[in-house]
Amino acid sequence: MKGTNLGEFEELVLLTIAALISDAYSVAICDELEKHTGRAAKLGVVHAVLNRLEEKGLVKSKLGESTSERGGKRKRYYEVTHTGKVALIKAKDVRESLWRIIPGFNLEGSI
């Protein structure tokens, strides 16, 4: 298992997998990322990140059933592992601690 430090896009993909629960496959992940970030997520880039997250032990994957609408191809579904959840909580805690030390910033109700 490689290190568990997360890059920004890795964190977004991991959060998206957690949010999609049992429907986290690559196309759905891309669609959800675009919906929430307003930026198009290229499928090839998402696949590379998913592979990296799996190598790090932050996600695990399994193949779903084949379907006729996909020409018999199976979807690969992703799930956040315990290690992935720990990494997300750590990233959230680091961000929050940094936001708290910015002088004059009040994030409560700022958006």
Q: 25, 77 in Cβ contact below 8 A? A: yes
What confidence tier does 73 reach under pLDDT thresholds 50, 70, 90? confident
What pLDDT does residue 60 have? 97
User: Residues 27-48: pLDDT tens digits?
Assistant: 999 999 999 999 999 999 999 9
Residue 20: name the closest of 40, 41, 35, 2 by CA: 35
Q: Considering the domain 8-67+74-100 in this protein, what is its CATH number? A: 1.10.10.10
What confidence tier does 69 reach under pLDDT thresholds 50, 70, 90? confident
Residue 58 has pLDDT above 80, yes or no: yes
How far apart CA 39 and CA 64 sit, in angstroms, is: 28
Strand partners, 76: 63
Helix (H, G, I), strand (E, B) or coil at 111: coil
How far apart CA 45 and CA 51 sit, in angstroms, is: 10
How far apart CA 9 and CA 19 sit, in angstroms, is: 15
What pLDDT does residue 106 have? 66
Strand ranges, E, within 32-72: 59-66
**Would you tell me how many other CB atoms lie within 10 Å of the CB of residue 58?**
28
Residue 24: name the closest of 64, 99, 77 by CA: 77
